Amino acid sequence: MKAAFVEKYGPPEVVQIRETPRPLPGEGEILVKSHATTVNSGDARVRALRDPGGMKLLMRFALGFTKPKQPVIGFDVAGEVAEIGVGVTGLKVGDRVLASNRFKFGCHAEYVLIDSDGVAVKIPDNLTYIDAIALPFGGATSLVFFEAGGLKAGDALLINGASGAVGVMAIQLAKLMGAEVTAVCSGANAALVRELGADHVIDYTTNDFTGQSTRYDLIMDTHGNAPYARVRHVLKPGGRFLMVIGNLWEMISGGWQKAVVSPRDDKAAVSVKNYAYLLDLASKGEIKPVVDHVYPFPDIVEAHRRVDGGHKVGSVVVSFDEN
């Protein structure tokens, strides 16, 4: 089988597609034939060892000091169960699934082994593989932050970076929860975020939301350029700051600031419950997958370049299907 290897940190060009042995599922494991995956901002940060600030040494210890310990990255895969190991229940060969090994990665490959600690959820019949794979990165992140931040009906929520993979899912999920949503994005994406349900749109190229008089119950920063110190005065008394991205000092200081919410338990986000919920909402038409571009697997380097450009809208998808 073919897989995309990252054997040194660097620009998109370090990604190389090579032949590698097809894995065999052991006890409790499934082998998924890949149809689609994503290159998300997390994949790009791992590939480039790019940190929000002050965390590079910690990243080296976690990911690999001189090169990635897991050379095949990729967080999620949508595909077909090709083989199952002993003890697997609830799935059979041929089932269409959305799956993840969390931070064990491995999903940028034609076949992906999902171990017993991973997640695999059946995809509803009316969703394509590309529909399914566009949901989990932004959707699961939004769900875990909204739960930790206590988002409820009637809350005023501002989303900074509203047209990214997290932002487009956050808008839709927050509206389903009854929140009043203000989306911060470029004017070019204003129509999209309104279509997704945003009540108000602020074009960051012409307006700075931190200089206005409106106050919010929650502010969600998905971009990393609106830290708590910059936006705290725009929160209502008792308001919460959802820090999706932060540098080392912001992560440390956020630990003793009651208003800062920063859950980091990947098992809370990447769960059967969350993946099944997102798929169910999409199958009912209650949320819409947003896809920036679909690249064929041989062009995965271009997918990394698109993510590095910083202006993608929704998810960058990589397809393993010829058509």
- Non-local (6+) Cβ contacts of 10 within 8 A are 47, 48
Matching residue, tokens 């967080």: 75
Residues 130 and 149 in one domain: no
Any domain includes 277 = no
Q: Is residue 173 part of a domain?
A: yes
Do 193 and 119 share a structural domain? no
Q: For 68, phi and psi rounded to 5 degrees?
A: -60, 130
Q: Provide the pLDDT for residue 254.
A: 53
Contact 225, 205 (CB under 8 A): no
Whether residue 124 is found in the same domain as residue 209: no
Residue-level pLDDT at 226: 87
CA distances from 191 to 194, 200, 206, 208 (A): 5, 11, 16, 19
- The enclosing domain of 257 has a CATH number of 3.40.50.720
Cβ–Cβ < 8 Å for 315, 290? yes
Q: Has residue 247 been placed in a domain?
A: yes
Is residue 6 located within the same domain as residue 47?
Answer: yes
Instruction: Please report, in tens digits, the pLDDT of each residue of the chain (323 residues total).
Output: 999 999 999 999 999 999 999 999 999 999 999 999 999 988 998 998 877 665 667 778 777 888 888 999 999 999 999 999 999 999 999 999 999 998 899 999 999 999 988 999 999 999 999 999 999 999 999 999 999 999 999 999 999 999 999 999 999 999 999 999 999 999 999 999 999 999 999 999 999 999 989 999 999 999 888 889 899 999 999 999 999 875 544 555 555 567 898 876 667 788 999 999 999 999 999 999 999 999 999 999 999 999 999 889 999 999 999 75
Same domain, 184 and 222: yes
Clarify whether residues 233 and 294 are in a common domain: no
User: Residue 82 belongs to a domain with what CATH number?
Assistant: 3.90.180.10
Decide: 28 and 112 in contact? Cβ < 8 Å: no
Domain count, the chain: 2
DSSP secondary structure letters along 180-248: EEEEEE-GGGHHHHHHTT-SEEEETTT--GGGSS--EEEEEESSSSS-HHHHGGGEEEEEEEEESS--H
Q: What is the DSSP letter of 53?
A: S
Domain residues for the domain of 71 are 2-134+289-319
Pair 193, 143 in one domain? yes
Whole-structure pTM value: 0.93
**Residue 249 pLDDT:** 45
Same domain, 165 and 85: no
Note whether 314 and 201 are same-domain residues: no
The pLDDT, as a whole number, for residue 60 is: 81
